[in-house]
Amino acid sequence: MKIAQDGPFLVVESERFIARFLADPSSDLEQLQDQDIYVTVTGGPTYYATVMTLQAIDAVLRRWTQTGEAADGSYFWSRDLVITPQPGITAMIEAIDGLVRKAEIAQACQIIPDPEGSQDVSGSAPSPL
């Protein structure tokens, strides 16, 4: 696996996918608790995933009890949510790799529509934004 900087994105390349996410490369990537990741499957579409730990979700709920959001923190939901048991980019990339390897990423995450309107690998046209 290779990690590189591409403009504002850190890019992780594997044989199965390329993952792009915004993160400060000088920060401790193994302490990340919450990360939005764009995942382009090799030969396939790009998906969007929000990867969080249970601790990150707990922190959000606690904050919302103070701010009044989500009925005073009485619930949490997020589209395309993937939960990891441990913090860090290694755990997050392992989760993404598992989703891609087991062909479950399409059930867990939404495809980001191709702005040029090309079809994804399933043959179905992308939905409009």
Which tens digit of pLDDT belongs to each residue from 60-89? 999 999 999 999 999 999 999 999 999 999
What per-residue confidence (pLDDT) applies to 117? 58
What per-residue confidence (pLDDT) applies to 126? 41
Residue 116: pLDDT band (50, 70, 90) is low
Q: What mean pLDDT is predicted for residues 34-50?
A: 96
What per-residue confidence (pLDDT) applies to 97? 97
The phi and psi torsions of 109 (rounded to 5 degrees) equal -135, 155
d(CA 21, CA 32): 12
d(CA 31, CA 64): 22
Q: Is the four-CA dihedral 64, 53, 11, 125 of positive or negative sign?
A: negative
Q: Which alpha helices (H) appear in the chain, and where do they start and end? A: 54-67, 69-73, 89-101, 105-108
- Cβ neighbours of 108 (radius 10 Å): 15
What per-residue confidence (pLDDT) applies to 18? 97
Share the mean pLDDT of the chain: 89
Answer whether residue 125 shows pLDDT above 60: no
Question: By percentage, how much of the chain surpasses pLDDT 90?
Answer: 78
Q: What mean pLDDT is predicted for residues 18-33?
A: 91
What per-residue confidence (pLDDT) applies to 86? 97
